[in-house]
A = this chain, B = another copy of it.
């Protein structure tokens, strides 16, 4: 039960991108977070495939958010990086072994799968309720203005 570590980086990147008006190259984001430049690129590619960010090639290129931060939920980012498939995957054990239940009796999902599905839904709903805009607002509230300005300066350089 472990989600991809890249999710954390991706969320940070989204927050940073929302502050920068201009495209930001992957290399700068990597240096800012002091993480593997090549690996972060992979995560950004995933975000790009999911349609959350758009890449601009060539000089002064980089990544930009495609939508307003209030339209990007945390769940969007998590599913883009970690995949959208549920954590629990039924193997249909009941259809195997000497006491195998015939397939025609397996039309209704079993209680176990139902519980897991319900929990997974609750988890996703909880993540869907928060948007990147909420994160940005919270960061702005708990961080001194001078630090935010310094970050913006560093990004431009």
Task: Enumerate chain A interface residues (CB-CB to B < 8 A).
Answer: 1-5, 7-9, 11-12, 31-35, 74, 78, 82-83, 85, 87-91, 93-94, 96-99, 101, 108, 110-112, 115, 118-120, 122-127, 130, 134-135, 138-139, 142, 147, 150-151, 154
Contact = CB atoms under 8 A, between A and B. Distances in A.
Enumerate the 7 nearest inter-chain pairs by beta-carbon distance, A residue then B residue, closest first. Answer: A34-B97, A119-B126, A111-B138, A34-B96, A123-B123, A122-B126, A3-B87
B139 A87 contact: no
Stoichiometry (number of copies): 2
The majority secondary structure among interface residues of chain A is helix
A108 B142 contact: yes
Contacts of A101: 147
Contacts of A99: 32, 147, 150-151, 154
A40 to B, nearest CB: 11
Contacts of A89: 2, 5
A101 to B, nearest CB: 8
Nearest to A77: B112
A93 to B, nearest CB: 5
Contacts of A91: 5, 8
